[in-house]
Homo-oligomer: A and B are copies of this chain.
Amino acid sequence: MPRYTAPTKDMQFILHDVLKATQSGIPGYDELEADFTSAILEEAGKLSSEVLFPLNPVGDREGCTLENGVVRTPTGFKAAFDKLREGGWPGLDLPEEFGGQGMPHVMRTATGEMFSSANQAFTMYEGLTHGASSAILAHGTDQQKATYLPNMVSCEWTGTMNLTEPHCGTDLGMMRTKAEPQDDGTYSVTGQKIFISAGEHDMADNIIHLVLAKIPGGPEGIKGVSLFIVPKFLVNEDGSLGARNGVSCGKLEEKMGIHGNATCVMNYDGATGYLLGEAHKGMRAMFTMMNEARLGVAMQGLAQAEVAYQNAIDYAQDRLQGRDVTGAKNPDGPADPIIVHPDVRRALMDQKSFAEGARAFILWGSSMLDRAHRLEDKEADGLISLLTPVLKGFLTDEGFDMTIKAQQVYGGHGYIEEWGMSQYARDARIAMIYEGANGVQALDLVGRKLAADGGKHVMGFFELIKGFIKENAGQDAEFDAQFLEPLKKASKDLQASAMFFMQKGMKDPNAALAGSNDFMHLFGHVCLGYMWARMGLAAKAALAAGASDATFYETKLATGRYYMARRLPATAMHLARIESGSEPVMALEAANF
């Protein structure tokens, strides 16, 4: 009953009309001609709609099962994973020397959105592998790369991230898992890790766990944490699989959603591990995975909002209930479709303007990552580092809210599992939590990123917005009033917040932290406002150039107007909350809650 149609046209619009990919000067972007990207997106869309999406409710219903240490994935997952491998999707943006296709990261984000919309739980098996590959690429020895990467880039082997322990998640300095050095240069890893996505399953010949652990005698706390490669099966020198390592899945968690993904308790019992990167510098290596993973999770927020929205439109156009108050739209039928009702429109426009704005934001962010990596552009690197917590926190909070709005369009049917809307909401819920709960993202943003390099990157962001407005204002009074003025106002709210933090935060760090969540959301709205202004400009340009599909571009402008008029006013509320400072938040003694 539910459907998923890949938003290829919208992605093409962002890549070409808005970001002007081929003219960006980023190495590799010259190949991203419209025909080329279209072919890739169409192919990924087909796999998503035809193979992955039909398995989404299957995964939700069946979940994974653990029997005698073996985890069985839901019916059909293994065959679909083979198809994903056959298409070369896992290595799309990974180096050609290890079997990848070396494309820009922006293409991975676009195709990844489709896979996640179609089946988030399934796509995570590949996503974790990509993150682990990136960490080995960045920090591994040549031998480690040669041993693991070819099979990981193809997803013949999958990967995991092992951070959390029962008593510590955010505060990893409290970690207890130990890695004892052995005479042969390996380590013996012992401890328990929890919440390990894709920790054990039946879709790959080997699983390469990246595990944070402490080498006894090292520094206290977070400074004594190192990262280890712990394969499920040891790899022989000739590349064949050797002995089973001392790592096993002790339990599968029963979760609110993403049932198709195996969330494992992993027990390490003297498992052989290989140091990845430097001893005691494990967090730095892990952050390579985490920053990438955070963008990936931001994308999941968008992805679930998109698929939920598509189904909400279908329902709103099909379901006959009540009449348009301004006159029947379906006079021959027993009632009008509910899309005629303004409050249903409001809910759909919230979703549409979010999904399209968020897509532009994350593709822009991904292109910034490419610019940082491929041009070693420090400014781009600083900006994407600043925006990563905004992307992760804002897109997943809002993305979840949008799935709830989509579910609401269905009325009672939205609450019934067979209609599919509940799963989108339940699956979307995790994205606000994992890879650093959104409170941690807000803390990272306000406590670290904002002041990084003397506040240079946030100042750069303000300059960017100011420059954009200056460059484009005064040419079209309507566009100025509908797009640029609201953006200017929202951006001023953001600046006032940053100013408040700077003035108060020195004396009272809680004054900034009490407003961190609001700041993250305020920042997110400004970014989406900026994206909508850019998309509005691009749509105007296309219309002026006589584009054949005028409706597409007019719809873009109308959707942008909606975001500006109805969503951006949130910035003033966030500013008011921020400016109320820490007193209201911190007034109570902990015992008096």
A residues sitting closer than 8 Å to B (CB atoms) are 164, 167-171, 174, 194-195, 253-257, 313, 316-317, 320-322, 325-326, 329, 334-335, 337, 339-349, 352, 400, 404, 407-408, 411-412, 414-418, 422, 425-426, 429-430, 432-434, 437-439, 442-443, 447, 509-510, 513-514, 516-517, 551, 555, 558-559, 561-562, 565-566, 569-570, 572-573, 576-577, 580, 582-588, 590, 592-593
By a CB distance below 8 angstroms, the chain B residues around A570 are 573
**Residue of A313, A426, A514, A573 with highest tally of chain B CB at under 10 A:** A573
Q: Are B195 and A590 in contact (CB under 8 A)?
A: no
By a CB distance below 8 angstroms, the chain B residues around A418 are 254
Task: Provide the bound-state CA to CA distance between A551 and B592, in Å.
Answer: 8
By a CB distance below 8 angstroms, the chain B residues around A588 are 345, 349, 555, 558-559
Task: Provide the bound-state CA to CA distance between A325 and B516, in Å.
Answer: 14
User: A313 to nearest B CB, angstroms?
Assistant: 5
User: A291 to nearest B CB, angstroms?
Assistant: 19
Apart from A195-B412, A343-B443, list 6 A-B contacts with CB within 8 A: A255-B415, A329-B590, A337-B590, A341-B443, A343-B514, A412-B437
Q: Are B422 and A256 in contact (CB under 8 A)?
A: yes
Given contacts A168-B321, A170-B322, A422-B256, contact A346 B562 (CB under 8 A): no
User: A451 to nearest B CB, angstroms?
Assistant: 13
A-B pairs with beta carbons under 8 Å apart, 8 shown: A256-B425, A326-B509, A326-B510, A340-B590, A345-B588, A400-B404, A415-B430, A558-B587
Q: Are B565 and A339 in contact (CB under 8 A)?
A: no
Q: Are A325 and B426 in contact (CB under 8 A)?
A: no
A412: contacting residue among B313, B348, B352, B434, CB under 8 A: B434
Given contacts A343-B443, A416-B253, A417-B254, contact A411 B513 (CB under 8 A): no
User: A196 to nearest B CB, angstroms?
Assistant: 11
Q: Are A342 and B513 in contact (CB under 8 A)?
A: yes
By a CB distance below 8 angstroms, the chain B residues around A422 are 255-256
> 5 closest A-B pairs (Cβ-Cβ)?
A569-B576, A342-B513, A565-B580, A256-B422, A558-B587
Task: Provide the bound-state CA to CA distance between A414 and B426, in Å.
Answer: 12
Q: Are A343 and B513 in contact (CB under 8 A)?
A: yes
Task: Provide the bound-state CA to CA distance between A345 and B418, in Å.
Answer: 38
Q: Are A426 and B562 in contact (CB under 8 A)?
A: no
Task: Provide the bound-state CA to CA distance between A218 and B437, in Å.
Answer: 58
Q: Are A321 and B254 in contact (CB under 8 A)?
A: no
Identify the closest chain B residue to A508 (Cβ).
B326
Task: Provide the bound-state CA to CA distance between A590 and B256, in Å.
Answer: 34
User: A390 to nearest B CB, angstroms?
Assistant: 15
By a CB distance below 8 angstroms, the chain B residues around A321 are 168-171, 174
By a CB distance below 8 angstroms, the chain B residues around A317 are 590, 593
Task: Provide the bound-state CA to CA distance between A321 and B175, in Å.
Answer: 11
Q: Are A585 and B562 in contact (CB under 8 A)?
A: yes
